[in-house]
A and B are shown apart, each in its own frame.
Chain A
């Protein structure tokens, strides 16, 4: 059975994501120490709440180094929500905070207002369609295979990654006119801003694909 090691560094409720892995046919393992996390076949980096408190939690458990090692070893890694944002170099949430630096780019606030003055409700909460980025790379062979351009998925966030390398963009979403980076991928490393464990059958299908990576 495909094992997925979930980094448990004290933020958020991991119940839904663990259960989604089970339903998808995998075996979730909650890792509270770097020792356990290091043996991961596949690594899942969750994250909810403030960027800084997530990064602090990762560091205090030694999970930042573990994540780098596992990515370097080419084993599959999936970051969800703030877990995706942490893959980047830095975030502008409440000041300037360093991320894991596994992908180039920064995390910025969703603009509360458009250039034309249209106001936008933030946080972005709700379902949005996955769209192909301008630099369309196709979703074949990725976690989102068959879903870009078709699936609606569930988002809850006020900040979003702004990837510096256009080739890393796997899917975008439009939120009240703002283009948001919904998913990024480079090699075996994938990040999703939305919550696959709350996105119904489409989200479960993505988790199932992760088990086959």
Chain B
């Protein structure tokens, strides 16, 4: 296990001006104002925030710049933004709005060289590959696009290996099967991906109890854990998660009150 603290990341899925949440990336419900929630997570000691515009790739637009600009007025931890990033110009607009990293999925599957272009221009530490993984009948996983709607035909393990070679600096790994179910992460998937690459992997999709964090790190070797549902619905706070991690011997950041 790595000696550095495991990062606890608040994930905010955005549609238009709203924070939303679904189950398996579908059946979206409006939660509220993203800024209000983001501020609450920052103050509770989130190590990073991830914003994903979950309809952007369907409509080919970026509605996130305003949300990001507002966030960086008051939030002083790293922010990753994804959804609809298709080009250097899209990434630059988000970075200028205050994002520290950009996440790409659909556009990178369509044109993998985008990862190389982004990492040459902004550095690989800036480039997050977002993977939406769905279990296949044969036991492997396929990478999906457009929030788990469209097949790519790519095997997840092969894809993350290629993406690392092309310049991705980090992987945000969402299990479409587990997402929003509160049943825990897809640990076999996580284990296979963390074995396949050297770059950090963020586990996303399924956290419903603090013990799920421990499984993701201990059994899945996740470098970071993304939490959405549990935070949005105030089922579990970041404080609970940190305490559970510490009790299990997993190092987490000392988070002073904001």
Stretch at the interface among A85-93, A132-140, A149-157: A149-157
Stretch at the interface among B31-39, B184-192, B210-218, B250-258: B250-258
Closest residue of A by beta carbon distance from B121: A49
**Is B42 at the interface (CB under 8 A from chain A)?**
yes
* A198/B253 contact (C-beta < 8 A), A20-B76, A121-B198, A123-B169 known: no
Which of B74, B76, B257 makes the CB contact (< 8 A) with A203? B76
In the bound assembly, the distance between CA atoms of A156 and B78 in angstroms comes to 10
Stretch at the interface among A1-9, A34-42, A162-170, A173-181: A173-181
Q: List 11 A-B contacts (CB under 8 A).
A: A13-B95, A20-B76, A127-B4, A152-B5, A154-B78, A174-B3, A176-B4, A198-B76, A200-B77, A200-B258, A201-B258
Interface residues on chain A, number (Cβ under 8 Å): 33
Closest residue of A by beta carbon distance from B255: A200
B residues neighboring A (CB under 8 Å): 2-5, 7, 42, 45, 47, 72-74, 76-78, 95-98, 100, 123-125, 169-170, 198-200, 223, 253-258
In the bound assembly, the distance between CA atoms of A20 and B47 in angstroms comes to 17
- Chain A 1-53 interface residues, beta-carbon cutoff 8 Å to B: 13, 15-16, 19-20, 23, 48-49
A residues neighboring B (CB under 8 Å): 13, 15-16, 19-20, 23, 48-49, 119, 121, 123, 125-129, 150-152, 154, 156, 174-177, 197-204
In the bound assembly, the distance between CA atoms of A23 and B42 in angstroms comes to 15
- Let me know if A177 and B76 touch, CB within 8 A: no
In the bound assembly, the distance between CA atoms of A200 and B79 in angstroms comes to 12
Which of A15, A19, A126 makes the CB contact (< 8 A) with B5? A126
Closest residue of B by beta carbon distance from A155: B4
Closest residue of B by beta carbon distance from A48: B123
The minimal Cβ–Cβ distance linking B14 to chain A, given in whole angstroms, is 20
- Let me know if B200 and A125 touch, CB within 8 A: yes
Q: Counting chain B CB atoms within 10 Å of each CB, which of A121, A151, A200 scores highest? A: A200
In the bound assembly, the distance between CA atoms of A123 and B45 in angstroms comes to 24
- Let me know if A123 and B3 touch, CB within 8 A: no
Closest residue of A by beta carbon distance from B100: A198
The minimal Cβ–Cβ distance linking B75 to chain A, given in whole angstroms, is 9
Chain A contacts of B96 at CB under 8 A? 13, 15
Chain B contacts of A200 at CB under 8 A? 42, 45, 76-77, 255-256, 258
Chain A contacts of B7 at CB under 8 A? 126-127
Chain B contacts of A198 at CB under 8 A? 76-78, 100
